[in-house]
Structure 1
Amino acid sequence: MADHSQPAHGALRQARWEQGTEIPLGVASLAFLAAYALRVLGDGLPEAVLDLCLAVMLAAWALFAVDYAVRRRLSGQRLRFVRTHVLDTVVLLLPLLRPLRVVQLYETVQRRHGRPRLALHARVIVYAGLSALLLGFTGALAVYQQEHQAPGSTIRTFGDAVWWACATLATVGYGDVVPVTPLGRLIAVGVMAVGLALLGAVTGTFASWLLQTFAREDDERPPGI
């Protein structure tokens, strides 16, 4: 008879690890975002402060890497873990997406305080909104860092970068400010892709909520009306 105790024990250990690291990783993502913002926007800060910010960013990345490695080992899936945890893999490899772990921190705090959880549709909209806000701010920082000193760039201030991020996430694309550097354009492609996914999630969820609301009203309506 096959022994299923070992996989079950590994799954239990993985669940305990994930529960215990939710808040530390959320705090690490906040620290990463704050340190990154200071490095990009703090032109007049002392070199020691900028070096400290870099150290915080590297430490946060190290925490993400350790968490990823431990969860992969506890799962026992090896390469399959990478295929089934694509978002975690992308977050580990792309600094632009690491602050999105803050959204998971919000869910953890809500759950541990025993507060009533939002309905599914409301949760999707709230989480997509938080993700768009974090992605827009981080994307604006990344593009501003690459573009503000580039020859021929139209993104000269952080305000320009924020305006560009808002237009890109909303899929408006005015074209008045655009990245000109190769890395800036690569960042723009990532922001566009994630922005389309978030917009689709919000619009699809809202449409589903409307359909359910109208269907419920039809069911409650007396016959013949």
Structure 2
Amino acid sequence: MTNYPLTWPAGWPRKTDAQRADARFGRKDRRTVNYTNGGSTSWTTTKALTVSDGVKRVLDELARLGARPGYTVISTNVVVRLDGLPRSGQREPTAPGAAVYWQDRARAPRVMAIDRYRAVADNLAAIAATLEALRAIERHGGAQILDRAFTGFTALPPPAAARSWREVIGVPAGERDMAAVRAAYRRRAQTDHPDRGGTHDAMAELTAAMRQAEHELE
């Protein structure tokens, strides 16, 4: 999977533009003015979330869940910073979904993806809120329930993945160089990605093929 562009989990349903909604997530900003007579006035305002706010919420919740450090990928259609995380201050992409991939304490791969809202920051905040709710299950002694809940939060193979990963990515049968495979993947993503004229199904198949390649070659 890639942190940019968005790698949507294969088999997960997508929202259309008409189905997306404005979110109610926000960031509380408390201001205080101190007066010379010793008094003060404070008030709280709610500001729209930034992408950085959403990323921080996701990372904080994953840390509380015990996700393995260094095995988290936050995938969006927002251009990333040098550290690989989405950069704030950009125009909203046409596909504002967000997907988060990580490994839990037992090294099991997990993924959660949401594209219900019109802003990337809000979809990230929704993922964080969902993680917080699931963490509450664990906190109240429902570890087994939590594990069962997470069985639905794994990347599923595409329903009709009949072609080999080499055919999908476009590499010859004898190619075993991962650098060459990743280069071919990026070239194919330029045409298969929905933002570049492709389809969600084509990108899902390509992403699944890349995971198969990594499993076989690495």
**Interval containing the TM-score (normalised by the shorter chain):** under 0.3
**TM-score for the superposition, normalised by structure 2:** 0.27
* TM-score between the two structures when normalised by the length of structure 1: 0.26
Q: When you count helix as a share of all residues, which structure comes out higher?
A: 1
Larger RCO (CA within 8 A; separation ≥ 6): 2
**Pair member with larger Rg:** 1
Return the structure number with greater strand share: 2
